[in-house]
Structure 1
């Protein structure tokens, strides 16, 4: 632990890769981050319920937490920290107070996915000994890299003559869009002049940087449960209320929700289950769904239609439906002013040979909660991408990164933070008509 983070980027990333934990179960991960943060030395460190209000969390599992706590304890996680994180209150916020200057936020995510990592000899983590040690769980989206960047950037700023306030959000539960909201509502998000969020890869190669994403899709996860009544499928099917049939109707009709003239929308039923046996009319069905939209308002349009579709299908088959929005995230676009700063910084980083001012994201991210709060309060935000060569796409068993990108990411983030310090206040670029529009949240009929 006495060795600086900057001298062990690869070692640290691989250590984090070996111990992946899914949303709201990042007990060992948080404890490891806290250990590193304490070694760096910060002015304030908040863990779990000290970093946010637990009531603001979304998509928190109602079971399956204790095995992850025990696993963390067995791996040597600090007992006091585990007690502090009881109930799945994971994640941390680290703060550097360095006198007069801008208040800058940096957000990195820390959770993993339920994917069994490949054992193929051609998969570097397997052949080089840092494959996931936890069955059916894997850092298949690069969050191990993000955490490494967050720690290294924090250390370099702490060791510099930086003047201002730096707040680093080590956010849990991004993969289920559950952790961005509580972090954004917390006291630590108050008064941020600038916010940077970052992702590795996303099909951008090593040596390429995207200074800011555009058009991240607003998204919501929706669970729907349909309750009917059982009956003998041969003797008296008419006496039942078929939840399976109602679910089938709901699925068919959900994909028929009209597209919207104002922009792109998406709906998907990702998981569905019903029934107990072939000779029993199913009395219960459950679906896990999602709705997305090019704007927050378009997502809300699809969400309302999806809820109505499920409830109508249930009624049609004499069943009843309960529809719950498990989590959601808004759209928030990167600000041109920060894209310009990041572009200029990235151009001067060794190994970066391509800088894109912007790129469409095409997916969803709950960092948009933090971005939206900062922007609504008059600050600037950007979500940047640091490219990496990855053999297969994100969310696959053979996902990996080119570790050259570790240093690239640290250099871009530290450079951007120092540039914002020097240039503060960065003036807002106003449209020609003098107004700032909010297309991401405009009203949509329907």
Structure 2
């Protein structure tokens, strides 16, 4: 398996160089398709057909500007990918009757400028981000490499049965891509479905097996429209969009906490104003709410909307609110399936941390739920990895040894379920 270790690191470093934001993972999508074709995959879907309604899509000019900075070469039609319909679905059928497997790997980067520190491993070994102001700061480059290595293994192993679906999903950050692909049917007709994440507080060699506690979430953009005026000459004629937005930010962060479960609210962006002596006419806010259970999220959303209405009335401004992303709460595990796999994987020597609470949002929850609702078995796990810095920081990096552990873990699950089906 030495070649797989080298392959995993090579692909991780390749994709670490080209981080792209959600629904702009154009070069990333093209390079994954090219690699899968090279491995021998014939059935690859991409473009509009793998998406339903998308939320939080970048504006057309942002996508065009990104394309001007990219260097994409492809011998197939990528027009729809270039329109922001990123990600892909690749399928391999062994030709032998058996279970239908599905795997999801997210592919997007984050809007962060990677550290210039010379001791940062990507800088030291020259695989740092070439896309200014973007980096892979959550491990999705590692997820891509594990997905490709698993695809390489499956298509080269001759005695496997059943079929295998690889979902490379864009726009996980902001929880936008998962629902779009799930609503388009990417997780339909599967017997088994698996997804994973690197790091998340677990050490190299640990596996958080059977993740639960996925938070429901909604992401909103709000624009406040007031009226400008001279701040000294005629302040009474102005209606400050900035003060309205700032007031709402304070109100939202003082919402009553719940005894029935954990909740979160965060105003992450607030922009307003053009000059110090002008009452600001416009303000832009980006916020998110999260909750352990869907009912709590619904109640939080109601409070946010009431606070927005009240603030707008008080400051005599108008508002426009847009839903930019959403994901469901998910806590279900098929106990018999979980116990069976747990016992087998423990016998192989894996250090399993059972049913860890994710305590964050992950839009793969839509796919996990759909598979389970249709009678399939779905499971998420965390591949432990020693981190140089926390997720979503500009010096984030993970232990590349964890890539092979993650690949091997997927492989052992597939091999076991193949053997079990044959029996």
Q: Where on the TM-score scale, by shorter chain, does this alignment land: which range?
A: over 0.9
Q: Residues 372-418 of structure 1: CA distance to partner in whole angstroms, max 9, x if unpaired?
A: 21122222211111111111111111111211111111111121123
Structure 1 residue 96 corresponds to structure 2 residue 95: no
Aligned to 2:54: 57
Structure 1 residue 408 corresponds to structure 2 residue 405: yes
Shift of 1:342: 4.6
Separation (CA, whole Å) in 2 of partners of 1:71 and 1:227: 34
| TM-score, reference length from structure 1 | 0.89
Matched residue count: 417
Separation (CA, whole Å) in 2 of partners of 1:95 and 1:344: 29
Shift of 1:174: 0.5
Structure 1 residue 369 corresponds to structure 2 residue 366: yes
Separation (CA, whole Å) in 1 of partners of 2:292 and 2:33: 37
Runs of 4+ displaced beyond 4 Å? 3-7
Query: Which residue, 79, 83, 87 being the options, matches 2:79?
Result: 83
SS at 2:397's partner residue? Answer: coil
CA-atom RMSD in angstroms: 2.0
Separation (CA, whole Å) in 1 of partners of 2:341 and 2:150: 15
Unaligned runs of 5+ in 1: 426-446
Shift of 1:82: 2.9
Separation (CA, whole Å) in 2 of partners of 1:40 and 1:5: 13
Aligned to 2:124: 127
Aligned to 1:44: 43
| Alpha-carbon distance change, 81 to 345 in structure 1, aligned in 2, over 3 angstroms | farther
Shift of 1:240: 1.8
Separation (CA, whole Å) in 1 of partners of 2:40 and 2:346: 31
| Alpha-carbon distance change, 107 to 295 in structure 1, aligned in 2, over 3 angstroms | same
| TM-score, reference length from structure 2 | 0.93
SS at 1:22's partner residue? Answer: coil
Shift of 1:68: 2.4
Aligned to 1:278: 276
Query: Which residue, 102, 106, 121 being the options, matches 1:105?
Result: 102
- Would the aligned equivalents of 1:212 and 1:384 in 2 still touch at CA under 8 Å? yes
Separation (CA, whole Å) in 2 of partners of 1:84 and 1:319: 39
- Would the aligned equivalents of 2:249 and 2:267 in 1 still touch at CA under 8 Å? yes
Q: Residues 22-52 of structure 1: CA distance to partner in whole angstroms, max 9, x if unpaired?
A: 1111111111101111112225110122322
| Alpha-carbon distance change, 66 to 331 in structure 1, aligned in 2, over 3 angstroms | same
Aligned to 1:301: 299
Trace 1:23-422 onto structure 2 (pairs within 5 A).
23-53=22-52, 56-62=53-59, 63-72=61-70, 74=71, 76-78=72-74, 80-98=76-94, 99-160=96-157, 161-333=159-331, 335=333, 336-347=335-346, 352=350, 354-422=351-419
SS at 2:398's partner residue? Answer: coil
Separation (CA, whole Å) in 2 of partners of 1:136 and 1:317: 36
Aligned to 1:438: none
| Alpha-carbon distance change, 422 to 186 in structure 1, aligned in 2, over 3 angstroms | farther
Separation (CA, whole Å) in 2 of partners of 1:5 and 1:45: 23
Shift of 1:103: 1.4
Unaligned runs of 5+ in 2: none
Separation (CA, whole Å) in 2 of partners of 1:380 and 1:151: 22
Separation (CA, whole Å) in 2 of partners of 1:368 and 1:417: 21
